[in-house]
Structure 1
Amino acid sequence: MQGVLGSVAPTTLKSYAAAVERFWGFTWGAGAGALRPPSQEEVLRYLAHLRAMGRAPRSMRHDLAAVSFFCKALGFPDPCCGFIPRRAIEGWARLAPPLPDRRRPISLSILRRILRVLPDLCWSSFEVQLFRTAFSLAFFGALRVSELVAGSRADTNGRALSFTDVAWSPRQVLITIRHSKTDQRGKGAAICLRASRQGPVCPVRAVGAYLRVRPSRQGPFLIHGDLSPLTRYQFASLLRACLGSAGFPPSEFGTHSFRIGAATEAANLGLPDKAIMAVGRWRSRAFRSYIRPQWATGH
């Protein structure tokens, strides 16, 4: 059982456990006693309940996968593998297609303006260097926030960029991504960012300046002066503050806007599809949904 549970990422296991707890609570109620194999009819009633609550088909698929995983792990028959549950979700998705992702990209020009206002929003020069590095790496590396910073101060899964994952020289910075959303087995990927002439938005210059003030300490690469890790919440909070201070509506952006911006900028420069896929480590044509030419100028 322990080996089966360890076959998925800790964050996935946590979300699966929460989904199954909701399912069992709906199906049998609190204090129902020993677990028993759920039936396909019970799964269908739960899916209908989720649809009545307005849950998106994508969310329903996640819950279905969670129930399926735990049933198999417990040695129960899988009540989710039949034709009807999956086709029901497929049909609901067709009847109510998902809303398009309208998050705006953070372009090079927006990044430049964000970095310009950092000194007014950070309480120390160390924090300025920390967030200048975080934002620059997120954009030029087309990184997901989960690949860059810790999920929380107590996050111990080690998936954030670590000190040993970064190799710096005046001409380039090499980054090792040990795990990612599409690499749960940890095959890893290497990113090489070369020095540019973009001044304050050069990722190599930003990392070099940060390393000069960062304590020489193992652990997460992006840390505060008190050695605590930079968290996702802190990253997102200061990003919103910077966007607002720079004159942009924060509600139209998200942490993923750096990755969207990297794809949009690459397309705007005329890079071929294969090159854009390499920039963001995309394995399919899904990267095209990240290209938002209407926002290419960043205004």
Structure 2
Amino acid sequence: MQGVLSSVAPSTLKSYSAAVDRFVAFTWGAGGGALCPPSQDEVLRYLAHLRALGRAPCTMRRDLAAVPFFCKTLGFPDPCCGFIPRRAIEGWARLAPPLPDKRRPISLPILRRILRVLPDLCWSSFEAQLFRAAFSLAFFGALRVSELVAGSQADTSGRALSFTDVSWSPRQVVITIRRSKTDQRGKGAAICLRAARQGAACPVRAVKAYLGIRPQQQGPFFIHRDLSPLTRYQFSSLLRACLETAGLPSSQFGTHSFRIGAATAAAGLGLPDKAIMAIGRWRSRAFRSYNRPHGLSGH
């Protein structure tokens, strides 16, 4: 059983476990027999319950994946394999399509504005160099924040960029993404970033400046002077502060705006789809939804 549970990412297993706990609580409350094993009727009643609560179709799909995963792990038949449960979710999704993602892209001009105000918002020059390198890699590497920094101070997943994942030379920095949202089996991908002519937003210069003051410590690449890891919350909080100080509405941006901005910038340069897919490690043309030139107004 341990091997089966390890076949999915830790974050997915955690999500599945929470979903099954909710399902079990519902079936017991409705007089059902929990996972001994559940019936398709119980699954349908639970889905109807989620819809009555206003849950999004994506939440229902996650729960619909969690229940059969644990059922099969315990040797029970799959109660979700029928036609009706999956089609019901598809129908509800059509009746209430998801709201469009309105996050604006962080463009190169916006990145420059963020980096310009950064020193005034950091309590030390070390912190300023740390965040300059983190923000620069997020944009030029089209990185997800989960690939870059730790989820929390207690994060032991090892998914954050590690010191051993980064190599450099005078004109380039190469980072290795060992595992990502679209690479759960850990095949890995190397991202080569070359020095920019304009040093104000150069990822190579930013990384080398940070390495020049970074403590000689293995583990997460982005760490504070006290060796604690840079976390997602810290990354997001300072990003919001920088945007506000630069005169931009922070509510319209997020950590994913760096990745959206990278796709938008690449499309603006006229790069072909395959090249853009390679930059962001997209496996499909879903990246097209990230091309948001309309979101660049006011930068």
Aligned counterparts, 1:12-23, within 5 A: 12-23=12-23
Aligned counterpart, 1:4:
4
Q: Quick one: which amino acid aligns to residue 102 of structure 1?
A: K
Q: In the aligned structure 2, how far is the partner of 1:235 from the partner of 1:26? A: 37
CA contact (8 A) 2:177 2:189 kept: yes
- The one-letter code of the counterpart of 1:226 is D
Q: Note the C-alpha offset of 1:18.
A: 0.5
Higher mean alpha-carbon deviation, 232-241 vs 29-38, is at 29-38
RMSD: 1.5
TM-score normalised per structure 1? 0.97
Instruction: State the AA in 2 paired with 1:54.
Output: G
Q: What is residue 229 of structure 2 aligned with on the other side?
A: 229
Deviations 1:11-45 (A, max 9, x none): 11001000100110111149999841111111111
1:213 partner SS: coil
The yes-or-no answer on 1:244 pairing with 2:244 is: yes
3-state DSSP of counterpart to 1:157: coil
Q: Distance in 1 between matches of 2:48 and 2:33?
A: 25
Q: Which residue of 2 aligns with 1:262?
A: 262
Deviation at 1:274, TM superposition (A): 1.2
Please tell me whether residue 100 in structure 1 is matched to residue 100 in structure 2: yes
Residue 168 of structure 1 aligns with an amino acid whose one-letter code is W
Question: Aligned equivalents of 2:11 and 2:175: distance in 1?
Answer: 23
Distance 1:209 1:76, change over 3 A: same
Amino acid at match of 2:95: L
- Residues paired across the two proteins, number: 299
Structure 2, unaligned runs of 5 or more: none
Q: So what's the TM-score if we normalise by structure 2?
A: 0.97
The 5-angstrom pairing of residues 175-190 of structure 1 reads 175-190=175-190
Identity %: 84
CA distance in structure 2 between the partners assigned to 1:217 and 1:19 by the alignment = 38
**1:298/1:107 Cα in 2 relative to 1: closer, same or farther (>3 Å)?**
farther
Distance across 1 between alignment mates of 2:297 and 2:167:
32
Distance 1:238 1:31 in 2: 49
- For residue 281 of structure 1, what is the aligned residue in structure 2? 281
User: Any unmatched runs of 5+ in structure 1?
Assistant: none
- C-alpha separation between the residues in 2 aligned to 1:114 and 1:158? 28
Q: Which residue of 1 aligns with 2:143?
A: 143
